């Protein structure tokens, strides 16, 4: 995975704020955690067992500064966590920002799409806001690596920015780390997964309203998840 290059991610790593300096994003949420928490709540609705099963192994592919894993641990999710990223700077930031007194996740540097991790090792793999940084001709290698590291029947969740949402497009266009982003609709993700032999593929949208609105935003998300106009979407599949 080389687009944008590793060095560019490294340049944003220290104190990474997920582009919160974008005006609309700053109005929508108090901080980057607010936006990742929406995805965490979605994950827990989709697979409630995550909250209680310590035997589940979880991979955050392209984990960046580790925000999702940190929020998962803070929410009491007990499973073993592993994060990978092409940016060693981001991995250092993930380690630095991890709460003291809490066992850190295993952190591994990727070589392009490859994680270097054992095959059939994970029950769940999450890839969140990563694919839009991956060139079109390199995305198949990412899906293949995710399938390789998942156990048979293991679950995949792809979270991505929705190019059909005008607010998302506005924010992405004004976020420096997304300068070279190639947004992809959920139909592209679903089609790529079908071509790769994945099973039980489903898509839903989220983040229809600003995360600041809390329970109201969550209620709207549940009611309109079928509508492909949310700020983000999730595509799920099984290996």
Q: Give the pLDDT confidence of 9-48 residue by residue, as tens digits.
A: 655 555 655 544 555 455 454 567 889 999 999 999 999 9
pLDDT reported for residue 211: 87
Decide if pLDDT at 145 tops 50: yes
Q: Which residues contact 13 (CB under 8 A, 6 or more apart)?
A: 65, 87, 89, 90, 92, 93
Q: Which backbone phi and psi does 206 adopt, to 5 degrees?
A: -145, 175
What is the domain class of 6-238 according to CATH? Answer: alpha beta
Confidence of residue 79 (pLDDT cuts 50, 70, 90): very high
Strand-strand pairing, 80-85 and 57-61: parallel
Contact 162, 235 (CB under 8 A): no
| Per-residue model confidence as pLDDT tens digits over 102-113 | 889 999 999 999
Listed in sequence order, the residues at least 6 apart from 7 whose beta carbon sits closer than 8 Å to its beta carbon are: none
Strand blocks (E) in the chain: 57-61, 80-85, 106-109, 122-128, 150-161, 199-206, 232-238
Better-predicted residue by pLDDT, 155 or 15 = 155
Helix (H, G, I), strand (E, B) or coil at 114: strand
Q: In which band, very low, low, confident or very high, does the pLDDT at 149 lie, cut at 50, 70 and 90?
A: very high
When pLDDT is averaged across residues 193-209 and rounded to a whole number, the result is 97
Q: What is the mean pLDDT of the chain?
A: 89
Edge-to-edge order in the sheet of strand 80-85: 106-109, 80-85, 57-61, 122-128, 150-161, 232-238, 199-206
Higher pLDDT, 193 or 218: 193
- Claim: this prediction has a pTM higher than 0.75: yes
- Residue 90's Cβ-count burial label (10 Å; 0-12, 13-18, 19+) is buried
Measured from the Cβ of residue 77, the count of other Cβ atoms closer than 10 Å reads 20
State in Å, rounded, how far the first CA of the chain is from the last one: 21
Please tell me whether the peptide bond between 223 and the residue prior to it is cis, using omega within 30 degrees of 0: no
Quick check: 25 and 232 in contact, CB under 8 A?
no
Paired sense of beta strands 122-128 and 57-61, if any? parallel
- DSSP symbol at 27: H
Q: What is the residue extent of each domain of the chain? A: 6-238
């Amino acid at each position: 995975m080389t687009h944008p290059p590793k060095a560019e991610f490294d340049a944003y790593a220290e104190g990474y704020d997920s582009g919160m300096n974008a005006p609309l994003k700053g109005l929508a949420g108090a901080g980057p955690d607010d936006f990742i928490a929406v995805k965490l709540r979605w994950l827990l609705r989709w697979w409630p067992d995550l909250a209680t099963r310590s035997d589940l192994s979880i991979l955050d592919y392209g984990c960046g500064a580790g925000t999702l894993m940190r929020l998962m641990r803070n929410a009491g999710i007990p499973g073993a966590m592993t994060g990978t990223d092409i940016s060693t700077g981001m991995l250092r930031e993930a380690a630095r920002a991890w709460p003291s007194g809490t066992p850190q996740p295993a952190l591994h540097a990727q070589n392009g799409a490859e994680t270097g991790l054992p095959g059939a090792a994970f029950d769940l793999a999450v890839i969140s806001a990563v694919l839009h940084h991956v060139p079109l001709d390199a995305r198949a290698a990412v899906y293949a690596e995710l399938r390789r590291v998942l156990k048979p029947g293991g679950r995949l969740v792809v979270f991505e920015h929705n190019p059909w949402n005008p607010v998302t497009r506005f924010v992405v266009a004004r976020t420096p780390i997304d300068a070279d982003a190639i947004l992809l609709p959920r139909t592209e993700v679903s089609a790529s997964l079908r071509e790769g032999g994945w099973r039980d593929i489903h898509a839903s949208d989220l983040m229809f309203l600003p995360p600041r609105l809390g329970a109201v935003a969550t209620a709207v998300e549940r009611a309109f998840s079928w509508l492909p106009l949310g700020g983000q979407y999730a595509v799920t599949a099984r290996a």
